[in-house]
Amino acid sequence: MRFDDLKDARVAILGVGREGQAVWRQLRSRFPEKTLYLFAETAGDDGFAQTLDPVLDHYHFGPLDTTSLKNFDVLVRSAGISPYRSELQQMDKESVRFTTASNLWFAENPQAKTIAISGTKGKSTTAALTAHLLRSADVSTCLAGNIGRPMLDCEADNVDWWVIELSSYQIADLKAEPDIVVLLNLSDEHIDWHGGAERYRADKMKLAGLTAKDRLIVNFADPVLAGELRGYPNTTWFNKTGSWQAAENCVYCRTDELAHREPSNDGFPEHHEKIISAPTSLPGEHNMHNLAAALTVVAELDLEIPDLDFTLSEFSGLPHRLQLIGENAGVRYVDDSISTTPVSVVAALNAYDCRDLVLLLGGMDRGLDWREFASCLVANPPHAVITMPDNGPKILSSLKWAGVLPKGGLHAVTDLSQAVALAKELVPPGGCVLLSPGAPSFPQFRDFEDRGNQFAVLAGIEKSTRSAH
């Protein structure tokens, strides 16, 4: 379905976040006199609402109403609204057609060369890093998608390659043929949105079958992906001998032949192995997996980067992703607000010395089981753990069940303000306060950026000290 197919159709936009707003801008610019309907379930952007035409744009706030929705020919679903919800399933039975911002963009740009990147964790960093490396190789590159800039808001002229981060929300009903697909890892997430772990995994794995030329790049170190895609045609693996592999503080590339040679004094086969040390903007072994994926894309495209170490040193990392936002009273504050899964919290903890770290946890309860996460903390717990609503009680119960005994204790508070205030009291001198919630920000915050920005204010860190990618 393309925009021209919507010209004479009765159209409603479901959700007025970034994607919904981008769809509205496209429709309004293409069809200035068209009547449009917008439905939002949560309080939207006041600035956007003020740009709407009071005659042509009908803005409805509140729960989705099937009686109203069945009057439309096409519903443009924003990523946050699940197609598996009963209201949308009912509309499907009523023969109402659906599309999304992503599907519209791919339909409008069939000739675009695209690299689609997804995974339970690390996709934002990998996408940004891949775009950075391509640009350093003089490739005109546009970074878009779930990373924050809707594809429909991007200029399509003079772009050699599109690097597109896709979430499971966008993949579930995606109609596209990416040139290259990158899959990083797969663990349970968004179970409530997908209606179960099995469907979440199926939706995520759907991306592997969409690539137009069967060019698939996959993490061999992820047991789920390795099991599902072993023997899949035209697959390039990373974290496998002969490819880029991740270590604790570096990535390296070694062939099968070199793997059996005697190591030199530094432990690596002399002159026969590429080793890239971790830049300061990519702390932790999990980021080395992201780097290995990005370098595999570069190799797949047969690109040359003259000074890779320097290029990586220029990569600033992503705001709200393990971002050291500054120090106050000798205490470091790290914003990992984009963390929305227990797996991402474990990765964040592995990047730091837990002995002097106070961890702030909790957010929207999506029904995830936190016991496996709690078990990971038994041997090396943070100095203290502070949990917040909505799933704070569940996390706290799991930590107690596993026998996690931080020196500074386990604590429960009612909001982020109390969490930061308590963290300031508990953190050891010269220590670190890490906001890595492991859960979505809704409904306490507008989005993860709002949560991270409020964390900085509460920490007493000036806005000007926070970097932006």
Report the sign of the C-alpha dihedral through residues 239, 319, 21, 12, in that order. positive
DSSP run (H or E) holding 324: strand 323-328
CA 277, CA 291: separation in Å to the nearest integer? 10
Residue 51 and residue 25 in contact, taking contact as beta carbons nearer than 8 Å: no
How large is the average pLDDT for residues 92-107? 94
CA 337 – CA 319 distance, rounded (Å): 9
Average pLDDT, the chain: 89
Asked if the model's pLDDT at residue 264 lies above 50, the reply is no
- Residue 92: other Cβ atoms inside 10 A: 12
C-alpha–C-alpha distance, residues 180 and 115, integer Å: 5
pLDDT confidence tier of residue 469, bands split at 50, 70 and 90: very low
What pLDDT sits at residue 109? 95
Q: For 351, left (φ over 0), alpha (ψ -120 to 50), or beta?
A: alpha
pLDDT of residue 368: 86
Categorize the per-residue pLDDT at 343 as very low, low, confident or very high, splitting at 50, 70 and 90. Answer: confident
CA distance 388 to 365: 11
Query: Which residue type, as a one-letter code, is found at position 180?
Result: I
Query: Residue 303 to residues 37, 140, 310: CA-CA distances in angstroms?
Result: 46, 13, 16
The count of other CB atoms within 10 Å of the CB of residue 271 is 7
Q: How confident is the model at residue 121 (pLDDT cuts 50, 70, 90)?
A: confident
Confidence band of 465 (pLDDT split at 50, 70, 90): very low
417 SS3 class: helix
Listed ranges 141-150, 319-328, 381-390, 434-443; the one with the highest mean pLDDT: 381-390
pLDDT confidence bin for 461, thresholds 50/70/90: very high
Q: Is the pLDDT of residue 120 over 90?
A: no
Position 160 pLDDT exceeds 80? yes
Strongest mean pLDDT among 41-45, 349-353, 377-381: 377-381
Res 80: pLDDT = 86
Which among 77, 91, 97 is positioned nearest to 10, based on CA atoms?
A: 97
In a 13 Å sphere around the CA of 461, the CA atoms on its Cβ side amount to: 25
Residue 251 has pLDDT above 80, yes or no: yes
Is the pLDDT at 468 greater than 60? The verdict is no
Q: Taking Cα atoms as reference points, which of 104, 118, 248 lies closest to residue 185? A: 118
Q: Tell me if 214 sits within 8 A of 147, measured CB to CB.
A: no
Give me the domains of the chain, ranges plus CATH numbers.
9-104 (3.40.50.720), 109-313 (3.40.1190.10), 323-460 (3.90.190.20)
Model pLDDT for residues 401-417, shown as the tens digit of each residue: 999 999 999 999 999 99
Angstrom distance (rounded) from CA 363 to CA 100: 27
The answer to whether the beta carbons of residues 357 and 383 sit under 8 Å apart is yes
